[in-house]
Structure 1
Amino acid sequence: MFKHSQLESVKAWLVDPTQASLPRHARIQRAVRQLILDGALGPGRPLPASRTLARSLGVSRDTVETAYAQLHAEGFIERRVGSGSYVAEMNEFFSGPRLSRRDALSRNQTPNLSARGEAMFHGGGVREHLSPRPFAPGVPETRSFPIQLWERLERQVLKESGTRALVHGDPQGAEPLRRAIADYVNLERGGRATADRVVVLTSSQQALTLCANLLLDPGDRILIEDPAYYGARKAFDAAGLDCVPVRVDGQGMMVERLRDDPRPAKAVFLTPSHQFPTGATLTLDRRLCLIDWAAKHQAWIIEDDYDSEFHYAGKPTACVQGLDPHDRTLYIGTFTKSLFPSLRIGYVVLPPSLVTPMTVARTLLDGHTASIPQLTLARFMDGGHFGAHVRAMRAVYAQRLDILAGLVRTHLSTFVEPRVPIGGLQLSCVLKDGLSERATIDAARRVGVELLGLSGLHASDGGQPGFLMGFAAYDPAELETAVRKLAGALRA
């Protein structure tokens, strides 16, 4: 028979809400199995008769019989005709003391990670808002996306491809999409791309991780903007790289300082179209200076062009990759910002020598990108729908940026100075003297407003305190409501 504590343990499994999805016989089976694994029921120990245990637990005898049958099938108990059920004899590999379930859980809370694992864990990862609210940055408008058109194109893909679309895809990416991406980069961004130089990935974050691990060794120096995109810094930190900050001014990264560094770096990362988070655009002379430096030192340029589609003043400058005759630039783009986040398609345009190594490396991560969304996106682009959607959203976002800038000047001028960008999906605000960034962000969160602090994006303590305000995903009424809430919170 069970001891009282053992019976209570089985009852606890029956009422545990985390086990509610399991049928009763499975909960009983797992409870008894855990008692055996913990050593609370030793080898040869008799189990209660099914009728007796059923009565104690308030379940049917068939329920207990089903649980016992599963335990017998798994080798945890023996069933002897006319005698009853007993805990099976365990072999030498399962003898000796065992951790209790509580001890096991306790140990799992402090895992023994590798140095790289510790860096990844303590870096906190890159987490996006599942249900974004103003002013979460980097979130596009999805409510007006032409989803019926997308569904129609997807049905066409399934009809024409049939079951061929259900098998493994090319790890470099579907050829129709690579061709469409190359055409887009050449036409709209002034790039030098061909389909065989494009690798389709799940995100720009995956591209950054691959670049960090494929091109550099732990301890190698990489130059990054200061302030910088947090996802890039975390990817490089996790790879064990030595991130060297280079200041950003109104003309982008101050690349002139690269020439004065006595210890050349092996790579440089930057967001030249709309610097994150300042919104500055890297000037042409600095782009050319950067290309010359990379060629001289045989260094790589990692160019993240993540929201270059949304430029609100004049024609955007050509991407660095298109100006680089030495093939030292890796150009990263994504459709997460231009279309919708759950699409999970990004890409990188590579120097020819890196295409095969990068393709092989990505097979160690996720094998390939889902084929059906790739082929649907290719049709979306080839049919001119991507360009039309971007143009429509560019007009919407430009209007929302103007509205938000006006609201900030009207309701928040006492507290902040807005820095209105010429592109991108977020507006940066610098706090005026005496105001705490942490207190401001906490006050905003209490009234349901999300702000991303600027200080944490700087490598040093020299950055001005402030915050980013994403505006793309929120209509004018939502923007006004959120600004008024924020103003009230700060006044309080």
Structure 2
Amino acid sequence: MPRSSQGVLLPPLANSHPRRADVYLALRDAVLQGTLARGERMPSSRKAATDYGVSRGLMEEVYAQLVDEGLLERVVGRGTFIAERAVKRTDPAVNGKAPQRVSSISTRGLKLAGNLACRFTHEFKPFNAGVADTTAFPWQIWQRIQARAVRDLRRADMNFTDPRGLPALRQSLAHHLAQLRGVRCVPEQVIIFNSIQQASYLLALLLTNPGDAAWVEDPGYPGTRAALELAGAAIVHVPVDRQGLQVEEGLRRAPHARLACVTPSHQFPCGFAMSAERRIALLEWAQKHEAWILEDDYDGEFGHARQPATPLHSLDQHARVLYLGTLSKSMFVSLRLAFAVVPEAMVEQLANIRTQLDAFNAPLIQLAMSRFMDEGHFSTHVRHMRNVYAEKAAVLTEGLKPLANHGWTWEKGTAGLQILLRHPNARQVQRTAEASGLEVHLLNSYRHKPADDDGLLLRFGGLSIPAIHLGVERLVSVAKSNGGS
């Protein structure tokens, strides 16, 4: 590992007029705690003395004592290094401080901190991997484009950049949305975020006052509820069926709600597309009550047996639908790029709120993403991944066929990166499946209140086909022995 010719940065001293003991204890504790790691090069005694404002003779004495204690070692012609045999202490009281405990947290804070809806696993196994498959990603192309983007970054891009997003990426997204999703917009309507979660939160802050009602699908994505709760909205759980959100029930429960949050193209987690009648009813409600619709098109590119469902935004004649999408689902999770299509006047307002949180997305990734789109690599990748996910869905549904005679059902011709498998005895099967090395979520975990119509959400996007084969074999075995008939 390359080391700086000047050595590491030394830990600060508590005393502005340090004595020899102050310098010695600071360096000793930094080595024992691992702040100064094994093999790292120390600055010369002259440079260290200058940094600490002490004499060089004092630093030589401290270095010599640490060498005698085996914490430093000197190599002739090279310098002074943290000894490879230096033992890191894990005692939390090494500085004389007791382990810290958090107290006096607010009731609101405890409630929010206890919500794990947006915490995701780092270990993928059947069936917890509803993320992009990166094995087929064109890494070499992406790396070349990133390298070009690094060379082309302007000095201005190294300072604060536009919180609305890089103009090049907004232009690319407007073109992409028109081609692949039928969403007609101009670049000035597009604003870039880190995630749909962030976009939902900022839109809720902008469009609702604390206590304003907001419709959410039930069952639905827990992250949407979390974003609305953070913003102080009053959650109104509206049931869904095979036609999507039950608009009439929403009207009965909260006709004057400010927001309706929906996944009309591929309802999460049930997988249905919202019917034309429900779409029209939802749009009419929004227009009549001057309400807003947040359309989460989280995996809209990935229809398997058919073309992806048309976004609700395409039917909106009165600019009441705010369209949310993500590139992390199409590319890779750590990309952290999402976007919203909103009325132009709203973009500036959202950008102003956004600067009070995290300011902007990294310009390098935005520039690389724009070029990846403009050069045709993104559309090629999406088309390829449609086939990849369709094949995985086919393998999974084929493997599930033995359960059809045991009372299990699932949606045929599904889309996206997950399948919902339904059965009243799903909870027992889930418990047994976990003991077999599987991880599946219950449909009831996405509901406001548990219901008898339970099921298992099988998320397969990031799994290999052999892993799907193995997982479905185990699941079928468990379900047959526990799922009834």
1:199 matched to 2:194? The reply is: no
- Between stretches 414-423 and 240-249, larger displacement belongs to 414-423
Name the CA distance, whole Å, in 2 between partners of 1:157 and 1:446: 47
Aligned to 2:86: none
**Which residue number corresponds to residue 329 of structure 1?**
321
Match status 1:462 vs 2:451: yes
Superposed, which structure 2 residues align to 1:86-125 within 5 Å?
A: 101-102=97-98, 105-106=100-101, 108=102, 110-113=103-106, 115=108, 117-125=109-117
- Per the TM alignment, residue 242 of structure 1 is displaced from its structure 2 partner at its CA by 1.4
Alignment partner, residue 217 of structure 1 = 209
After superposition, the Cα gap between the structure-2 partners of 1:359 and 1:159, relative to the gap in structure 1 and judged at 3 Å, is same
Q: For residues 135 and 214 of structure 1, what CA distance do their matches in structure 2 show?
A: 36
CA distance in 1 between counterparts of 2:107 and 2:450 reads 29
Question: What does residue 161 of structure 2 align with?
Answer: 169
Q: Deviations over 1:246-272 (max 9, x none)?
A: 111111111233444464111100000
Q: Distance in 1 between matches of 2:254 and 2:433?
A: 44
Is 1:450 equivalent to 2:439 in the alignment? yes
1:187 to 167, 179, 183: 179
1:347 counterpart SS class: strand
How far did 1:488 drift? 4.2
Residues 262/228 of structure 1: CA separation in 2 closer, same or farther (3 Å cut): closer
Residue 340 of structure 1 and its aligned partner are, at CA, apart by 0.6
**Could you tell me which residue of structure 2 aligns to residue 59 of structure 1?**
69
> How many angstroms apart in 2 are the aligned matches of 1:167 and 1:176?
17
Is the CA contact (8 Å cut-off) linking 1:338 and 1:390 kept in structure 2?
A: yes
> Partner letter of residue 242 of structure 1?
A
The answer to whether the 8 A contact 1:271-1:304 is kept is yes
Count of paired positions: 414
Equivalent runs, 1:473-492 vs 2, <5 Å: 473-490=462-479, 491=481
Gap change, CA 1:251 and 1:263, over 3 Å in 2: closer
1:363 aligns with 2:355: yes
Matched residue, 1:283: 275
**Secondary structure class of the residue paired with 1:123:** coil
- The DSSP-based 3-state class of the residue aligned with 1:135 is coil
Contact kept, 8 Å, 2:190 with 2:341, in 1: the verdict is yes
Asked whether the equivalents of residues 137 and 468 of structure 1 are also in contact (C-alpha less than 8 Å), the reply is no
**SS of residue paired to 1:105:** coil
> 2:454, 2:72 → 1: CA distance?
66
Q: Deviations over 1:451-482 (max 9, x none)?
A: 12110111122252221111222222111111
Structure 1 residue 218: Cα displacement: 2.0
The 8 Å contact of residues 269 and 303 in structure 1, kept in 2 or not, is answered as yes
Shift of 1:125: 4.6
Matched AA of 2:242: G
Q: Secondary structure at the match of 1:199?
A: strand
Q: 1:236 to 1:463 in 2, by over 3 A?
A: farther
Query: Quick check: 1:182–1:194 contact (8 Å CA) kept in 2?
Result: yes
Distance 1:413 1:178 in 2: 50
Gaps of 5+ in 1: 1-9, 25-49, 64-99
Match of 1:264 among 253, 256, 259: 256
> Which has the larger share of helix?
1
**Residues 253-402 of structure 1: pairs in structure 2 closer than 5 A:** 253-261=245-253, 263-402=255-394
Amino acid at match of 1:224: V
Alpha-carbon deviation of 1:343?
Answer: 0.5
What is the Cα deviation at residue 16 of structure 1? 11
With normalisation by structure 2, the TM-score equals 0.78
Residue 19 of structure 1 aligns to which amino acid in structure 2?
Q
Asked if 2 retains the 8 angstrom alpha-carbon contact of 1:287 and 1:320, the reply is: yes
Amino acid at match of 2:272: A
- Check conservation: 1:182, 1:198, Cα contact below 8 A: yes
Give the secondary-structure state (helix, strand or coil) at the position aligned to 2:368.
helix
Say if 1:60 and 1:407 are closer, same or farther in 2 by CA, change over 3 A: closer
On the 8 A contact 1:197/1:351 being kept in 2, the answer is yes
Query: Could you tell me how far apart the structure 1 residues matched to 2:353 and 2:336 are?
Result: 18
> Take 1:357 and 1:479, find their aligned partners in 2: how far apart are those partners?
45
Instruction: Quote how far apart the aligned CAs of 1:20 are.
Output: 3.2
Q: Secondary structure at the match of 1:321?
A: helix
Q: Deviations over 1:198-256 (max 9, x none)?
A: 11011111111112222112211101111111111121223232111111111111123
Whole-Å Cα distance in 1 between the matches of residues 461 and 405 of structure 2?
22
2:270 aligned counterpart, secondary structure: coil
Q: Does 2:464 match 1:471?
A: no
Q: Which amino acid aligns with 2:297?
A: D
How far did residue 487 of structure 1 move? 3.6
Q: What SS does the aligned partner of 2:184 have?
A: coil
CA distance in structure 1 between the aligned counterparts of 2:423 and 2:383, rounded to whole angstroms:
33
Conservation of the 8 A alpha-carbon contact between 2:217 and 2:238: yes
The answer as to whether partners of 2:213 and 2:254 remain within 8 angstroms in 1 is no
Of the structure 1 ranges 296-305 and 120-129, higher mean CA displacement relative to structure 2 is found in: 120-129
Whether the 8 Å CA contact 2:417–2:459 is kept in 1: the answer is yes
Q: TM-score scaled by structure 1?
A: 0.77
Distance 1:214 1:18 in 2: 49
Unpaired runs of at least 5, structure 2: 1-23, 39-60, 74-95
> Amino acid of the residue matched to residue 390 of structure 2?
A
Question: Residue 188 of structure 1 aligns to which amino acid in structure 2?
Answer: L
Output the aligned Cα RMSD. 3.1
Report what 1:252 is aligned to.
244
Pairwise CA distance, 1:137: 4.1
Distance in 1 separating the partners of 2:470 and 2:318: 50
Q: Which secondary structure state, in structure 1, belongs to the residue aligned with residue 448 of structure 2?
A: coil
Q: Deviations over 1:277-323 (max 9, x none)?
A: 01110122221221111011010100000100001233333212222
Residues 21 and 101 (structure 1 numbering): CA distance in 2 closer, same or farther, change over 3 Å?
closer
